[in-house]
Amino acid sequence: MSRPRATYDNHFNPPDETSMDAGRVAKWALWHSQSDDPEMCCVVCGSLIPIPLGPEPLWPERRRWGRRLEPATGPCAELESMEYQVYPSVAVSLYRAILDQPSEGPPQVLGIALCQIGIPGEPRSVHRDSQTATTWTGPETVEDLCVPFHVADILGPDINREQGRLVGYTIHMPCWVLLNRVIGKGLLEANLSVLLRTVESHWRANRSHWLTLGIIYGYEEHASGVLPWVKRPPMTPFGGGGGGVDHDWRCLETVTNSAVVPEIRAVIEKAERNQAGNRSRRRGQHVSARVPIEVVMMIVEAIYKDPGYGSGGITDTQHLLAAFAWHLPDWYWQARCHPWLIFEVRDLMRANRVVDWEDLCLGVEGLLCNHHWYYHSGLRNRARIVRWIERIRDGFMSRLDRNGGGEG
């Protein structure tokens, strides 16, 4: 049985040959034409792991990580939390692997590696320590530090596995971060076999979503997006091309960093600086503060639920609350911050951090209603991935239940 191959013309449509995206397509095509193993695809989100862009140092923010062709190692946690402002798509060129070969023992999570052009018949290799990343693996590093493996063919049959070779399930670095956040690191690492069998069955049931490239066409925004009632204006991928409103918002870019969204971090830092003190003192200084909180909420919700909600609605809300000295409870703003998606908000809530929640919520909404930003943001990609993870989590938990709570 032949396994599916990515069809570049169908999934990726760069506007011109000089764009960075055209360069990416060329590299992808070169890599895939040379590799005998299955495409290196993320078993969490179903998108390919691309070869990185950029001839210069990949991470100018952290020069000690070296240039691309210089071996370098360092802590995974640092790469996972970096912002990659010069080449944001580098984040999805970094990947982890989970080794699986029953004769070699239980599955094992490896460190982080940078996607390289494949050599026919040659295995990939990733640092054997799950806490350590290598940005390049030359001959001198492979034997000592890294584990060679062949990319698992999760739609099977897997020829490498049948021939006794070590196979690895590859995962985008940001997708592993999200997976750990949704399911929990301890539970995952104690049940890696269950996870691997779950993703196999998940993608066999969703073959049409496997092996997506830089852009997914036909993405159902209403199913995974936020503020679904807000009318989104026409948006075109890569700033070119045509198509109607519906078609355009049904395109989604998969090469954005879903784990680290710098603008969300900036909104949180500002809200932390503001803190809640000033706003709390505001309450009670005006006779209108006696209006029941339920009534205030209804008025604010009416603005929020308008299909035209955006920067104007946000400003109206701020002015209204300030003019009448109204103060809504933190829980109201926290619920409006989409904590199911914006895990940074959950972190603040769990840590009981003192922040100005009204400022934080309206700041987040300012981003969500900045249509150009949201369209190209990692947050929109995160919504897509978290929805997949929720389905994987359900399958994972069902298998655990059938197994009596664990791998035993």
Interacting residues with Zn ion (CB under 5 A): 42, 44-45, 172, 175
**In 10 A of CB 15, how many CB atoms?**
14
| Closest separation in Å from C-beta 24 to Zn ion | 16
Structure tokens at 350: 């769990």
User: Which CB sits closer to Zn ion, 337 or 386?
Assistant: 386
What is the nearest approach in angstroms of Zn ion to the Cβ of residue 341? 16
CB of 70 to Zn ion, least distance (A): 27
Instruction: Output 126 or 362, the one with its CB closest to Zn ion.
Output: 126
Closest to Zn ion by CB, 91 or 230: 91
Counting other chains too, the contacts that 393-397 makes at CB distance below 8 Å and 24 or more residues apart are 393/182, 393/183, 395/198, 395/201, 395/202, 396/183, 396/191, 396/194, 396/195, 396/198
Closer of 124 and 172 to Zn ion (Cβ): 172
Nearer to Zn ion, 175 or 182 (CB): 175
Q: Which of 210, 326 has the CB closer to Zn ion?
A: 210
Do residues 164 and 36 lie in contact, with contact meaning Cβ atoms separated by under 8 Å?
no
Cα–Cα distance, 341 to 384 (Å, whole number): 10
Q: How far is CA 315 from CA 141, 250, 279, 311, in A?
A: 56, 29, 16, 6
Q: Considering the complex, what minimum distance in angstroms separates the CB of residue 393 from Zn ion?
A: 15
CA-based nearest residue to 257, from 91, 388, 44, 373: 91
Residue (of 134, 154, 225, 147) closest to 195 by Cα position: 154
Evaluate whether 359 touches 274 at the Cβ level (below 8 Å).
Answer: yes
Q: Within 13 Å and on the Cβ side, how many CA atoms surround 115?
A: 28
2: left (phi over 0), alpha (psi -120 to 50) or beta: beta
Cβ closest to Zn ion, residue 44 vs residue 259: 44
- Shortest gap between Cβ of 18 and Zn ion (angstroms)? 28
Q: Smallest gap, in angstroms, from Cβ of residue 60 to Zn ion?
A: 24
Which amino acid does the sequence have at 324?
F
The closest residue (CB) to Zn ion is 42
Residue 193 CB, nearest approach to Zn ion (Å): 20
Q: Which tokens go with 308?
A: 């035209």
69 and 84 Cβ atoms separated by less than 8 Å: no
Report the nearest approach of Zn ion to the CB of residue 22 (Å): 23
Whose Cβ is closer to Zn ion: residue 127's or residue 172's?
172
